[in-house]
Amino acid sequence: MESPTEATDVAERFFRAVEKGDIDEVGQVYAPSARIWHNFSGRSQSAEENLKVLGWVAHKLSNRRYDVLRRVAIPGGFMQQHVLRGTLSDGSDFEMPACIVCQVADGRITLLEEYLDPAQAEGLRA
């Protein structure tokens, strides 16, 4: 089991890589068998499927940053509440609050559960 510091270090590494659009680094943070679940679909993705989505987001949203409202170690991982902010291709501002709950083992994310309102992601689809 990861220590609280190790779990939050994994969170820091993961979110910094997403901010930079470094999809290869994100892939290194995911365990090979990681599953990514979303509340809005009730379905899970493989890490590979999720990396494609994150690459698409990196293309659509520049100046990405996570304003972390709360990040705490929990048994077996971490929880983070944040607002994803960035700039859309038309120059308008984008923001989307979300909550992520992750299980971590051996320094890698094995399960990521994402809670967000998909209507707030509509700007990315335009």
d(CA 57, CA 5) in angstroms, rounded, equals 28
d(CA 78, CA 116) in angstroms, rounded, equals 17
Strands 108-116 and 30-38: parallel
Strand, coil or helix: what is 106?
Answer: coil
pTM summary value:
0.92
Q: What is the CATH number assigned to the segment(s) 4-125?
A: 3.10.450.50
Q: Looking at residue 120, what is its pLDDT? A: 87
pLDDT at 56 over 80: yes
Q: What is the pLDDT of residues 68-79, one digit of tens each?
A: 999 999 999 999
Answer for the pair 64, 84: CB distance below 8 angstroms, yes or no: yes
Q: Looking at residue 1, what is its pLDDT? A: 61
Question: Which residues lie below 8 Å from residue 110, measured CB to CB, with a gap of 6+?
Answer: 31, 33, 34, 35, 103, 104
Q: Looking at residue 5, what is its pLDDT? A: 85
Answer for the pair 34, 54: CB distance below 8 angstroms, yes or no: no
d(CA 84, CA 16) in angstroms, rounded, equals 12
